[in-house]
Amino acid sequence: MSHAGPHAASARPSTGDEPGSEGPPTWRDVVAAYVGLTKPRVIELLLLTTVPVMFFAERGIPALGLVVATVIGGSLSAGSASAYNCVYDRDIDEQMRRTRRRALPRHMVSPVSALVFATVLAVLSTVVLGFWVNWLSAGLSLLANAFYVFVYTMLLKRRTTQNIVWGGLAGCFPALIGWTAVTNELAWTPVVLFLVVFFWTPPHTWALALRYREDYRNVDVPMLPVVKPAAEVGRQVVVYSWVMVATSLLLWPVAGTSLVYPVAAAVLGAVFLVEAHRMWGRAKRSDALSEINPMRLFHASNLYLSLLFVAVALDPLLG
């Protein structure tokens, strides 16, 4: 399991190394720094797209032990990918407002220690998922981790405006992993949910990138809002949003859900589309961040994905 949104808001542990503090960091500061490397808020979002799929695959309530093992293994994997990302991106993280308080820019953790930490998490994740879930889920999780680190972080992020479009594939794997954890096989149902997250990622990330476009510009990361006007970013957000909502409704015929899911998906999708169109409208009128207010869509996107997957979990229970 890896990142859902490679630029989702990261955790910022408070440590004694902050300006104005006195004395060396305590062991609590160091622990908080290592936890920060895993980006806990990202892990929370990934688990929200894993556990509900387990309920759907089970057509009811899955075994508690299986859920716990999947959550632990998935969290370790996502934390590993985030830690590897922090090591590789430490040069630009130090220059960006959003990331300069992470552990490596603040020298709370050394790059070598962070690299060892990330590798240990990856090994533990594979062992937990392999022995207590199944090896298909372990393999998918390892693949997602590798894709995020080698394809997104090292290959795409600093080279193309399509970085998040294709790099975001890593964050789609939790839907597959949740399904295979229960069934030990792949099917079209989790593929639909995989694609929902795939089309959700660009609007989610570009909204955040609009907010921090000067940061990305300063470190030469070609996020779409850096190289295109806000109006064009808004247009592409709307296009991806429409495709995302249409894809979400495909689960109804593909998986044979009850009416609980499609009604929820339609309502949530309509609200999301209204927000996407509103942001586009504001971007066409003004390029000023204060006028565009992209964080409104960013927060709406988090809520949309969370509630959509809650509907996935509730459908077999209420339908």
Q: What is the mean pLDDT of residues 37-48?
A: 89
Quick: pLDDT tens for 195-252: 999 999 999 999 999 999 999 999 999 999 999 999 999 999 999 999 999 999 999 9
Q: What is the mean pLDDT of residues 295-309?
A: 97
The residue assigned the tokens 């994905």 is: 305
Q: What mean pLDDT, rounded, does the chain reach?
A: 92
Would the pLDDT of 122 be above 90? yes
Return the sign of the alpha-carbon dihedral for residues 199, 204, 210, 212.
Answer: negative
Residue 5 clears pLDDT 50, i.e. is over it: no
Q: What pLDDT is stored for residue 1 in this prediction? A: 57
CA separation for the pair 60, 188 (Å, rounded)? 19
Amino acid at 277: H
Question: What's the rounded mean pLDDT across residues 108-132?
Answer: 97
Instruction: Look at residue 297 in the predicted model and tell me its pLDDT.
Output: 98
Say how many C-beta atoms besides its own lie within 10 A of residue 283's C-beta: 24
Can you name the CATH fold of 27-318? Answer: Farnesyl Diphosphate Synthase (1.10.600)
pLDDT (0 to 100) of residue 19: 41
What pLDDT does residue 71 have? 96
For the chain, domain boundaries? 27-318
- pLDDT digit string (tens) for 76-119? 999 999 999 999 999 999 999 889 989 999 999 999 999 999 99
Least confident of 21-30, 68-77, 108-117: 21-30
**How far is residue 277's CA from residue 296's CA, in Å, rounded to a whole number?**
12
Q: What is the mean pLDDT of residues 139-161?
A: 97
pLDDT-based confidence at 42, cuts 50/70/90?
Answer: confident
16 pLDDT tier (thresholds 50, 70, 90): very low
Mean pLDDT of 119-133: 98
CA distances from 314 to 73, 154, 207, 309 (A): 24, 38, 29, 9
Q: What is the pLDDT at residue 94? A: 93
